[in-house]
Every structure is written in C-alpha cells, then in structure tokens.
Amino acid sequence: MANRYSLWSLIKHGLKHHESWQPAWQSPTPRNKYDVIIVGGGGHGLATAYYLAREHGITNVAVLEKGYLGGGNTARNTTIIRSNYLWDEAAQLYEHALKLWEGLSQDLNFNVMFSQRGVMNLGHTLQDMRDIERRANANLLNGVDAVVLSPSEIRDIVPLMDVSSKTRYPVMGASFQPRGGVARHDAVAWGFARAASELGVHIIEQCEVTGMLIDGDRIKGVKTTRGDILADKVGCVAAGNTSTLAKMAGIRLPLESHPLQAFVSESLKPCLDTVVMSNAVHGYVSQSDKGELVIGAGIDSYLGYGQRGSPHIIEHTAAAIIELFPSFSRVRMNRQWGGIVDVSPDACPIITKTRVKGLFFNCGWGTGGFKATPGSGNVFAHTIANDAPHRLNAAFSLDRFASGHLIDEHGAAAVAH
C-alpha cells in the first residue's frame, strides 16, 4: 500500500511537519459508467466496495454518497459488536462478521480500535434466563463463544452494577460473549474508504441518487445530482433511506425507518470495562476509550427521518442506566443525537436480489447494523459479484416475507442492538 500507516510513518511524517500525508481516499470525478454502483457510502456500502475489489477483482466500482462518507448511521451508532444471535442463520452471518473484525485493522491498515472486551446481556426474569440458556447453547453449537453468568460473576466483571435483589427487576444472570466488544465507528468508514480507494474504487461524496434507470426488467444505472451514471449492477446500502431508493425502482420493502437515539456522558476515568445491555430496563452502556459512557436507547415508536427523537426516551434510558448503575446518577450527559434505523419485521437484514436484474438491496439491519459491517459488505459483494447470494445471506432474501420464513431475532436484538 503506497500510503501505508505505521509507527514509522508517523515518525517519518512527524519529522516533515506532516506536510506529505496522502489523502486517505481519493475524490475523483465520476465516470459515465461503472461495472458496479454502490448507493450509500456508510460502513456497509464502503465495505461492499472494498470486498468487491479485494476478493472479486471488481474494481470498476463507484460508491455514491449523498452527504459525507460515513455520515449516516455509521457516525451515530453506539459501536457494539457481537455475534451471539439466536437463530443459526443470524448467528453464522454475524459470526462471519466478527471473524473479519478480528483481523480488520491489519487488513485495512487502519486501526479501527476493535476492542474485544465482551458484551453482556442481562436477564431479569425467569423467562429471560430460559432465553439466555437457549441462546447460549445455540451459540456454542454454532461455534460462537458464550458464557452464562450468575449475579456474583457479573459483579466481578462490573463492580458498579447493582445485582442485589432490591432493585425493581433484579438481575438474575446474563449471557456474556467474551469476543464481543466495540470499535471506533468513524475509523471503520474511513478505513474501508481508504482501502477501497487504494484498490481503485471511486468514492463520490455529495452525490445523491434521485432516480433509477431501468430498461424493461434490467437496471441500467442511476440518476444523480451530479448527472446520470450507468452501471451493470447497482447495490443499494442506504439504511434508513432504503425505502426511498426502492420506490424509485417500483419496489416495496418491509421496512420502517425509526429514530434511534443515543447519548454520551462527559469523559471519566475508566469505570466500566465491558458492554452491558438490558432488555428489561431498556438501555445499554459501554465506556469509550476517551472515557465517555456511551448509552443507547430503544427506537422511537413513530417513523422518523429527522435524526432525532423525543426526549422522554432519553429520560427513561437515563433512569434505566441508574437502575443498573446507581452510582452513575451524578454523572452528566454531554451530548445526545439520533440516527435513522430501517427496522424489518423480524429484526433481521434483507440482503437480496430483486425482480429488477442487476439491482440488489442490503438493508433492514435496524438497530444492529454496525456489528455486521465487514460481514455485511463481504457477503453483499459476493451476492453482487456472483448474482447469487452467499451461503450466509441466502436466508435473508426479500421473498422470505412471502414464504413466511422469517428469522425472528427480536429477542436477541431486543432493546436495540
């Protein structure tokens, strides 16, 4: 890689006042035609482009992003990564992603700060614990690491959590995935962008798709705010904005775009070493490397593209966090924000061909897309390159909503994530 990053490169460039760093990615003028257009320059879209180039040798690719790359949900999520989903199809897809996370920084030569500090899902009722047992056993049999913890074991890992029996919903136990954790979201977008750009992919920012060029039953390209661009294949990876794109192709999808809110505290000395999630009290929390508590809520119930939601959600989530961590009551929220999550009826993604030849969609990740980023891009690249799904995304086609073969991950996705 020409622009290779390393400690040595920092020293070298530091001595030269950092004046010779190369752009992290190029910003070329769009061609008239590409082999593949990816609509959506978030983590999943950039990952798709990268794997198209890297694993399939398809480099005549453009990623079209209506804003600045990585500026959608990739910039707004709470960065949780895990693969401990319930159903085989989901667990195997997320585990594929997790394995890619485990070498991603080296692969991209960009430190995405993937930190495997574990993810804990608390159980507060007998049924929660049954579901945890079921999921843990399924995980183990799917080759996904899983441990079931007792309240005292939880307290050993998270000393500040209230695991007493006095709380409203006493903690009865938890599932724990040691290999789960967090990563730095912006770095993921930038890392994939840089690696893809290095392989010849064109990343075109400030370029919004306004229509699809379809001839008969085949895609020909897209109309954009920077002109028409032709392509043999078009893959849409636009998260909350997917329905809008689908409509341009006359396709209806089972998606609803909801606000998803999150907030951070001020920066604190380390006090939480793992990721804690609770469906019962509705909230999840981890601590970033900068020291901020990163806290996520459930979705707002109404449709929303405004990247903001209602304040009572934040209030209830703060109450949930204090319920779990009474000592956090005096910690302060610094900033709150929201994203647009495309929720599907079974809380599982839709990675699919469509009835328009050459048109593919990768969407429906809802509140849990960040963790799948490399895996999603990887299988979607395969799907586009081969015009057929990868073994791991075959179950996630659009027609499962006709056949009834839903893969219901509401339990594992639960509060969000």
Give the footprint of other proteins on residues 240-269 (CB under 8 A): 241, 243-244, 252-257, 265-269
- List the x/- string, 347-376, binding to other proteins by CB under 8 A: ------------------------------
* Contact range with other proteins by CB under 8 A, out of 34-42, 208-216, 384-392, 395-403: 395-403
Q: Which is nearer to other proteins, 86 or 231 (CB)?
A: 86
Least separation in angstroms between residue 208's CB and other proteins is 12
Q: Which is nearer to other proteins, 63 or 231 (CB)?
A: 63
* Contact range with other proteins by CB under 8 A, out of 33-41, 183-191, 215-223, 385-393: 183-191
CA distance 361 to 398: 9
CA distance 45 to 38: 6
CA distance 300 to 295: 15
Exposure string over 101-131, b if 16+ CB within 10 A, otherwise e: beebbebbbbebbbbbbbbbbbbbeeebbeb
**Closest CA relative to residue 124, chosen from 160, 176, 173:** 173
* Contact range with other proteins by CB under 8 A, out of 3-11, 149-157, 225-233, 373-381: 3-11
Q: Three-state DSSP class for 177?
A: strand
- List the x/- string, 118-157, binding to other proteins by CB under 8 A: ------xxxx--xxxxxxxxx-xxxx----x---------
**Closest CA relative to residue 373, chosen from 172, 178, 174, 185:** 185
Q: Does 200 participate in binding other proteins (rule CB under 8 A)?
A: no
Least separation in angstroms between residue 314's CB and other proteins is 6
CA distance 357 to 386: 12
Q: Three-state DSSP class for 195?
A: helix
Which residue in 1, 32, 55, 68 binds other proteins (CB under 8 A)? 68
| β-bridge mates for residue 147, sequence order | 176
How many Cβ atoms are within 10 Å of 48's Cβ, its own excluded?
Answer: 32
CA distance 264 to 274: 16
Site for other proteins in 204-243 (CB under 8 A): 205, 241, 243
Q: Does 114 participate in binding other proteins (rule CB under 8 A)?
A: yes
Least separation in angstroms between residue 33's CB and other proteins is 24
Exposure string over 277-298, b if 16+ CB within 10 A, otherwise e: bbbbbbbbbbbbeeebbbbbbb
* Contact range with other proteins by CB under 8 A, out of 41-49, 54-62, 377-385, 404-412: 404-412
Residue 72 in contact with residue 42, Cβ under 8 Å? yes
Q: Which is nearer to other proteins, 58 or 246 (CB)?
A: 246
Q: At what angle do helices 88-101 and 373-386 cross, to 10 degrees?
A: 110
Residue 170 in contact with residue 129, Cβ under 8 Å? no
What six digits make up the tokens of 250?
């006359």
Q: Does 186 participate in binding other proteins (rule CB under 8 A)?
A: yes
Q: Does 386 participate in binding other proteins (rule CB under 8 A)?
A: no
Size of the site for other proteins (CB under 8 A): 133
Least separation in angstroms between residue 371's CB and other proteins is 17
Give CA torsion, residues 216, 222, 227, 231, to 10 deg.
-90
Least separation in angstroms between residue 55's CB and other proteins is 20
Least separation in angstroms between residue 263's CB and other proteins is 9
Which residue in 187, 195, 239, 414 binds other proteins (CB under 8 A)? 187
Least separation in angstroms between residue 298's CB and other proteins is 13
Q: Does 1 participate in binding other proteins (rule CB under 8 A)?
A: no
CA distance 231 to 254: 26
Site for other proteins in 33-62 (CB under 8 A): none
